[in-house]
Structure 1
């Protein structure tokens, strides 16, 4: 209801009047206008407005009240109500209240066709005003007299048609209760040019045909050259009109028709069990046919609207128990406030364009009723476009709390329907999917719906399959950036969302955007309402985006009974951005997906996070929070190659400073299910983190490993790159948020790179509960440039609780240029037949500056049961700095640890002031090994004898060293020489600064005397 400035001249215009906007523009100057809402009680609206004027006190009393509406003999149609002799009693109190807003000599003018028609009940003298008078008088109907009695006003009304004279109308109010002095409400120009009349046909009986029947009224309207209204005698309330054939409605060159029933519960139009109840045909795009307030039932199709231009409006009706369809519409349909129930095939079959389906209920209340609530599709050459489905209950009762599901889909959009919008509906309780879109039905929008839950989003009301299926379709948008755009897709007995491309389909499911939804949780985002499958599954589909980089675009995908997101069956080029997966909407507590947060299975080139090298100008953050899930945060498996995991928090809260572990303990607390931040299985060329701002991951707080990589002989995990991540630390890189096992475990995998040689490419692998990094049966991998056991700047310890790096039964790996310090046990441990590994250019036990101590709490390097490894080297950059460790610099233990080269390293200041037994290189982990004649003993590195110096003195600009060496006879050896700033406490020492080498060969006695090694100063 709208109004203009308060005045003594109040004009009330019913919105159902044709072109009421034109009438508003031509009211007399100084008038106040209100528009009566056609979906509300008109008498109540007028009463409310008049009472509001009374409360305002300063508003003037009304001299003239004009009521403009459709009419029939003894009846006014106001909003969705009728004012006639049968209803006056229920409005008596309201009409009496009007007196308080009227002047003592007020006048009420009723503009409605035939309202004053009746037998003469009371006569007055004829009042002649002027030549232009529009007020005459014949006789007064009981209806008019009653209104005067209740309101106290003089009344004027018409016994003929009001409106355009070419349509048989006029502007004479020819029946009055007394002298009327007020002019009509409209200017002469409007009266001359208004194109409508306010005429109504009345259905007087429940016969199938004949005078006074509905069929007769429709046939008259079909031939009448004007807009028409068909109303029903109130005496028909509660009756049934049984048809023998369809009712045909034609627009007769563009004229409008309204059929106003008394309410869906009050009058039934019963079909024949075959054909249609109503067959509507229009040919003019401006034509509107409206059917309101009826029950339409027991035909093959309740209402058929076929093929032409125009609009069919249906409101406040019940369409039920038809053997095929409730409504079939091939043109524009506006359906509001109606119920479609138990129509065997579907509630609506819609192939027109620009339709609006709003505020309806679609249900199947018996086991074999109504397969689909709504189907939108293209039929023939005309594409169904831009249809709107808004604010309906689909699969539930009208409260949305009780499931009365359609037998298949709640909404089915297929066969090339374009641009359908599904907004603000409750789509729950259906026996199939909530929404199914397929067959090239592109560019659909799904926003603000409750799918699988009640309208408050608090209680599951499952669809018995997926919440949403998108198949062989492109350009769908699910959700949006604003809270009101958010879909709650939870509680379904299947996936929350399934994106699927069928084999050999002509259209890939692609360019779908899933934005800002809650999937698997309630409307607060705090409590799980699980979908029994995945939160989102992408199956053989490409170029889809889950989330986004801008505020509001990320989804909360948590609480689901399987994976949060599953990408499967060669799905490629999909992107996951800015989502909360396994946590609540605030990102501060776990709401676990029962399985993995994200699983990529047999699919390539998908991104978890934004590739900023490919998108350098995209603003915002790309971070997913993937935490709290039942098994792993991310699983990349089964030949899923070229995945990028960039810029995420995996195992922490959204601030990156508190653990929300992936992984769950079982009933046996010693048995853990999953618990890995990122796991790569049998997959290659994946990138986990990268040295571009915003692309580094924080992978911390997980119940087992931060990252695990595994492979098999048949399908190796190779060429994977793990770079620039924080693993075991918070997002600042300064505080431990431990993964409860290893930071990284590489198992049975070859040819991978951890870190990199360029600045910033190394990972910070610290604070983990067991080891920082483990290679187990893993060959030919490169560990380069990482910080292991320190903070992100390398100046303080954030200890891994066991070894910094462990090589276990692994061969040919390069450990190059790392900072390995501050760990609770050893810096590096090489064990269990590991061989051919190169440990070069590392700083072990020192800070990033290479001089400040940052001890590993045991040895710098331990070699146990490992052979032929090289620690250091003689080329530039190959030497390790191994210093300030609490134990030995290098410990070689076990008799099988032989052939390990320890070359050119800077080993010094290992051990503590309290325990000065530590040495630079300890064979046997028992301190200095005493030389034996002929060096025949066995043990670690064959317990190689050490050379004995007898002279080291300066000569001019050089230092001359002399000594002797005893070992196996007739064998070639290389001796290395070092200088120390101070004598090592044990006396047999460590070698701080490498001087050089000489090659010697022992004699038959195993002896070599050297006296000519010279180092220039």
Structure 2
């Protein structure tokens, strides 16, 4: 830059550094040597200081320079242009007749010189270029070079310095060692917009081999029909060891490896990143039809891996490394053994995000994905894959964790087990927000099969299993391990097991451990054997769930249970069918059964339309039914509501209503070695037997009988054209209701099971004036009673719980004593409507002396509303199926609105705010003011009924 001005204002100017103009040399002959030859021009350029340019005379257009006196050595910066001085390509070919290498680029100095070769064809060399400098190739064709002997054992180009290739072609080059076209070590390799075709090696890298420590970036390039031969034979297009490869916007097609990696093989800590590329129709004899990694990392983004073929891992094989695939498709790949699409082995990590794995096939296991490492799959689809063995969609082997989130596994077909997914061995498992749809297994586990996973705890959340099929067991889900499995917020719908059968567990088959199902739906499943919806021989807990419209050709239309402990709470079991026993539930456990706050309705079976109980001779295993309703069920033989021949049934605060059986026990049928049952604070009403010789419209006792306490058994019939009252019938004289039973109300004086009116506070031969079965608050339907019912204040205090069947806030102790039956009458009770509502009544204000007119008393022949399952504010329950028709002479069900909300507070006031019942003593709590506004009522149904829309029963003044 200029120096500062001197005081006398004269200006000094610095001299510029000396400039050396590039020397341009012109080749004028195609001779190997001599004046005007390429060899002489290179020699002159080497001897001249600085960079030089070599061009060709236009007269040489289309000519071939045949090298006869050895390779061309470049020792100084040089640019060789296969053009004339105007830049027009002349089509010059340099041939070495397989005797020599064409170029040796090395200045024997540490610093790299820059060499560029462009617009030439370099062919038939014994290797083409040895580069130890900084080499750029542009618009070059390198073809038909074939090495032989130890000094020429690698590639058409062997480069230990930086190498950049643009717009070039590598065709039919062959190496007896590595890299048929290029071997790169140490330096950086850059390839852009080029093609590699029909190159081959006898070891690794049919087209390119990267020695340890190399880096390569390839973009816009096509690799086609390259081959890695021999016993090693890895990487039909590219092989690398302990190196880094980045591929963008490129195509790998029809490349072949005699061992691993039809397109790319990456070993020993190598890192491969592939983006926006297509890898198709490549083949490996062993593993990884498209890609293979051994203790390396492969990342695939926005790419397609399709139509590739191998023994294992038809698309990609990952051994002890990490394979991460994002926004890509793996389709139509084939493995003759396992892992048609992807194979991750030996603690390898497999990570899939927004990936489609479709149409892949295997001759063994895992048509889509095989992993014995970890699997993390998110927002991905595995569909239309096929396997001759297990896991058509995915087969995962422990112990590494498996996570499947927000994904779809559909239409996969296995000739063995696990149509959609097999989880084999101990591992942690998470399935969330995913769908398993229309998968098929010729053995078990149409959707998912979990095996040999003892001791594991895992979850299925927010997922759907729909339309899956298995022959042996578990149409939707099959679990044969001792595990703890939690299913939450999920759907198992229209799954099927059987054909040719027998097939158990249409929706779910669970053999060991503990299965917990919460806030889920099991619907429309079918089995040719037991358990249309669920078959469980392990512990089973069900809560806040719907089990509806399932079908079994044997037993347990909704649920078949023969494990240790069974718990069902706050659920609906409705519309299920079994051709043998237990339309809704067949429970044959060996430890304990308990059902709480649950509706079992409109189910059908030969024995036990609603519930079939038995313990296979294991003794009096307890079965407890609390705060529940069993209604509208049908048995073709015995036990419309409940049938049991083993075990001990204990029922409290429950309703058995409007069930039908052909032979015995329209409501409950007890047989054989059944233990003595205990019923307390329950209602058994409007049940029917239909055959001419049928017995026990309400209860049939053919075993050790029952003890009844504070229970209503009324309005049950033997209906063979005359609707004869038939509340309790015993098979033999010594089979009776326990004579110590007390505080009960039996409607039929001629069928009271041996109880006598007035003894032990029993009422025999009275009408309890039951209202229709309806939504009277609480989680289940109940029969309300009016204030003038003989059941009011006639029950036993010692057997009463704090609330009636409806639960809080419907207290039991309103008056001096509780009522008989499952329902407690209270003032201000707001009953659900069975007719269109009239204008709202006027409600009294606090301490008002006015009172509404007393409503008409209900009749025992009042219709019973069709059962409806519980409703929760936090979930939507499917509409219950239409209940089976009841006999013409019995109560005619009407349909309660399936969307009627359950009232948290409707019905009665709290115990501290209730009025006293008639006849209360002076020590009874005082009556508080009446409410100023009524609680909200549920939506009315359209069926007519004689009861008004709202009933309000004040306590006496």
TM-score by length of 2: 0.60
SS of equivalent to 1:684:
coil
SS of equivalent to 2:129:
strand
Structure 2 residue 304 is the aligned partner of structure 1 residue 487: yes
Q: 1:593 to 1:744 in 2, by over 3 A?
A: same
1:209 equivalent among 10, 18, 33: 33
Q: How does 1:946-985 map to 2 (within 5 A)?
A: 979=744
CA offset at residue 347 of structure 1? 1.1
CA deviation digits over 1:864-885, x for unaligned, max 9?
A: 68334768667xxx63624213
Cα contact 1:746–1:775 (8 A) shared by 2:
yes
CA distance in 1, matches of 2:651, 2:71: 101
2:191 equivalent among 343, 349, 357: 357
> Which residue number corresponds to residue 390 of structure 1?
219
1:557 equivalent among 342, 349, 357: 357
SS of equivalent to 1:444:
strand
> Which residue number corresponds to residue 316 of structure 2?
498
CA offset at residue 364 of structure 1? 2.6
CA distance in 2, matches of 1:650, 1:986: 53
Q: 1:539 to 1:981 in 2, by over 3 A?
A: farther
SS of equivalent to 1:718:
strand
> Which residue number corresponds to residue 373 of structure 1?
206
SS of equivalent to 2:43:
helix
Cα contact 1:832–1:866 (8 A) shared by 2:
no
Cα contact 1:833–1:866 (8 A) shared by 2:
no
CA distance in 1, matches of 2:394, 2:492: 22
CA offset at residue 429 of structure 1? 1.2
1:726 equivalent among 468, 483, 490: 490
Q: 1:629 to 1:725 in 2, by over 3 A?
A: farther
Greater mean alpha carbon deviation, residues 263-272 or residues 329-338: 263-272
> Which residue number corresponds to residue 330 of structure 2?
519
1:540 equivalent among 331, 340, 346: 346
CA distance in 2, matches of 1:427, 1:279: 30
> Which residue number corresponds to residue 293 of structure 1?
119
1:767 equivalent among 510, 524, 530: 524
CA distance in 1, matches of 2:73, 2:161: 16
Q: 1:856 to 1:865 in 2, by over 3 A?
A: same
Structure 2 residue 450 is the aligned partner of structure 1 residue 680: yes
> Which residue number corresponds to residue 703 of structure 2?
943
Q: 1:627 to 1:558 in 2, by over 3 A?
A: same
> Which residue number corresponds to residue 78 of structure 1?
none
Cα contact 2:370–2:395 (8 A) shared by 1:
yes
> Which residue number corresponds to residue 157 of structure 1?
none
Structure 2 residue 210 is the aligned partner of structure 1 residue 341: no
Q: How does 1:167-182 map to 2 (within 5 A)?
A: none
> Which residue number corresponds to residue 881 of structure 1?
628
> Which residue number corresponds to residue 603 of structure 2?
856
CA offset at residue 721 of structure 1? 0.3
CA offset at residue 662 of structure 1? 0.9
Q: 1:663 to 1:207 in 2, by over 3 A?
A: same
Unaligned segments of structure 1, at least 5 residues: 1-188, 397-403, 454-460, 480-484, 502-507, 521-527, 548-553, 583-589, 610-621, 652-660, 665-671, 712-716, 730-736, 756-760, 791-797, 847-853, 931-938, 953-962, 999-1013
1:644 equivalent among 430, 433, 444: 430
CA offset at residue 788 of structure 1? 3.5
CA offset at residue 628 of structure 1? 0.9
CA distance in 2, matches of 1:445, 1:364: 24
Q: 1:947 to 1:438 in 2, by over 3 A?
A: closer
CA deviation digits over 1:297-345, x for unaligned, max 9?
A: 3443210112x5x333353222323214111111111122222323234
Q: 1:995 to 1:349 in 2, by over 3 A?
A: farther
CA distance in 2, matches of 1:869, 1:577: 49
> Which residue number corresponds to residue 233 of structure 1?
57
> Which residue number corresponds to residue 412 of structure 1?
238
Structure 2 residue 249 is the aligned partner of structure 1 residue 424: yes
CA distance in 2, matches of 1:427, 1:880: 67
CA offset at residue 561 of structure 1? 1.1
> Which residue number corresponds to residue 478 of structure 2?
709
SS of equivalent to 1:311:
strand
SS of equivalent to 1:836:
coil
How many residues are paired up? 671
Greater percentage in helix: 1
Cα contact 2:171–2:199 (8 A) shared by 1:
no
Cα contact 1:363–1:406 (8 A) shared by 2:
no
CA distance in 1, matches of 2:242, 2:538: 53
CA offset at residue 276 of structure 1? 2.4
Cα contact 1:292–1:316 (8 A) shared by 2:
yes
SS of equivalent to 1:220:
helix
Q: 1:681 to 1:215 in 2, by over 3 A?
A: same
2:539 equivalent among 757, 781, 791: 781
CA distance in 1, matches of 2:733, 2:164: 101
Cα contact 2:101–2:125 (8 A) shared by 1:
yes
Does 1 or 2 have the higher relative contact order (CA < 8 Å, sep 6+)? 2
Cα contact 1:820–1:843 (8 A) shared by 2:
no
> Which residue number corresponds to residue 602 of structure 1?
397
CA distance in 2, matches of 1:202, 1:440: 48
> Which residue number corresponds to residue 102 of structure 1?
none
Cα contact 1:830–1:864 (8 A) shared by 2:
no
CA distance in 1, matches of 2:59, 2:741: 117
SS of equivalent to 1:841:
strand
CA distance in 2, matches of 1:888, 1:880: 23
CA distance in 1, matches of 2:506, 2:543: 15
CA offset at residue 473 of structure 1? 3.5
Q: 1:320 to 1:995 in 2, by over 3 A?
A: farther
CA distance in 1, matches of 2:27, 2:161: 27
CA offset at residue 248 of structure 1? 0.8
CA offset at residue 750 of structure 1? 1.6
SS of equivalent to 1:821:
strand
CA deviation digits over 1:381-429, x for unaligned, max 9?
A: xx223x2122222124xxxxxxx655452333432113x2112222111
> Which residue number corresponds to residue 68 of structure 2?
243
**RMSD over aligned Cα atoms:** 5.0
Q: 1:983 to 1:518 in 2, by over 3 A?
A: farther
1:579 equivalent among 370, 376, 380: 380
SS of equivalent to 2:214:
coil
Cα contact 2:599–2:629 (8 A) shared by 1:
yes
Structure 2 residue 298 is the aligned partner of structure 1 residue 476: yes
CA distance in 2, matches of 1:348, 1:292: 17
Q: 1:531 to 1:1016 in 2, by over 3 A?
A: closer
CA distance in 2, matches of 1:889, 1:405: 71
CA offset at residue 370 of structure 1? 9.1
Structure 2 residue 595 is the aligned partner of structure 1 residue 841: yes
CA offset at residue 285 of structure 1? 6.2
CA distance in 1, matches of 2:19, 2:506: 81
CA deviation digits over 1:233-287, x for unaligned, max 9?
A: 3333332322322211112xxx343342689994433336456221112557674
CA distance in 1, matches of 2:506, 2:272: 43
SS of equivalent to 2:483:
coil
CA distance in 2, matches of 1:216, 1:808: 94
Q: 1:818 to 1:376 in 2, by over 3 A?
A: farther
Structure 2 residue 413 is the aligned partner of structure 1 residue 630: yes
SS of equivalent to 2:94:
strand
Q: How does 1:793-812 map to 2 (within 5 A)?
A: 810-812=562-564
CA offset at residue 452 of structure 1? 1.7
SS of equivalent to 1:782:
strand
Unaligned segments of structure 2, at least 5 residues: 1-12, 148-152, 499-503, 672-686, 693-698, 713-727, 754-763, 765-769, 771-781, 784-790, 800-815, 820-957
> Which residue number corresponds to residue 699 of structure 1?
465
CA distance in 2, matches of 1:565, 1:772: 30
CA distance in 1, matches of 2:729, 2:296: 82
Cα contact 1:559–1:592 (8 A) shared by 2:
yes
Structure 2 residue 574 is the aligned partner of structure 1 residue 822: yes
